[in-house]
Structure 1
Amino acid sequence: MSAAEKPAAPATVLLYSHRPEVRDAVRAAVGRQPAPDVGPLSWLECSTGDEVVAAVDAGGIDLCVLDGEAQPTGGMALARQLEVEVSDRPVVCLLVARQSDRWLAHWSRAEATLALPVDPLVAPGVVAELLRARAGRPAARR
């Protein structure tokens, strides 16, 4: 079976925001399978920082998409906490309201950012690249 014929491995994406409309928008923008070689995705939604930490500690998460604007615990603080506390943490994508906040995402050790509102033409590619990196596969050719 060639790599092109190999079925895509399922992936679990943790999606954190205290706002349900943000979670809905991210899921709609990314879709169920962001690329032919990635997914299908299983979404685990969290609305509190404690839920995120518990889910990551339990394992089985491939990617965390964290809302940098979430209240009371922001996604950037959670990303930094996971970097420090979890030896094999999932890759992290931060949702940022302003492009000028990308430096904070870098500080938090996130691998990528997506601007809010989430662009459905950009989000699937970012998620696919992060999941490929997590799996140790090469980036897709563009």
Structure 2
Amino acid sequence: MESLRTADGIELVRVLAQRILQELIEAEATTFIGAEPGEHTEARTNMRNGHRGKTLTTQAGDLDLAIPKVRTGSFFPSLLERRRRIDRALYAVIVEAYVHGVSTRSVDDLVRALGADTGISKSEVSRLCAGL
């Protein structure tokens, strides 16, 4: 709580968004598995097997999320999209800049200015805009 009180506005939004997304991911994993972490029930269909990291770049900054792994099959939260590391709003900004002729290297500076800590590579800009 103390870190939330001392955080500036954007950092507070980033921390809250990360916490909310993480809780939603864990709740969906619990439903998928059929039991809470460490809980043994008859309804359990799978078992947790640790977490893997995923960074989601948003306008509030990078969110470090932990995606639960399962022993059999695979689990990926429905609120995230596979193979997408940036949110839709930032994606729209990147595509718009590219359409208006901003160089792929300059798009990296734009993405950093919008709050993405890691920026974006010129190859990723090209890959995102390949479908235009």
Give the TM-score taking structure 1 as reference length: 0.25
Question: Which protein has the larger Cα radius of gyration, Structure 1 or Structure 2?
Answer: 2
Q: Bigger relative contact order, structure 1 or 2, given CA contacts below 8 A and separation 6+?
A: 1
The two structures have a TM-score, normalised by structure 2, of 0.26
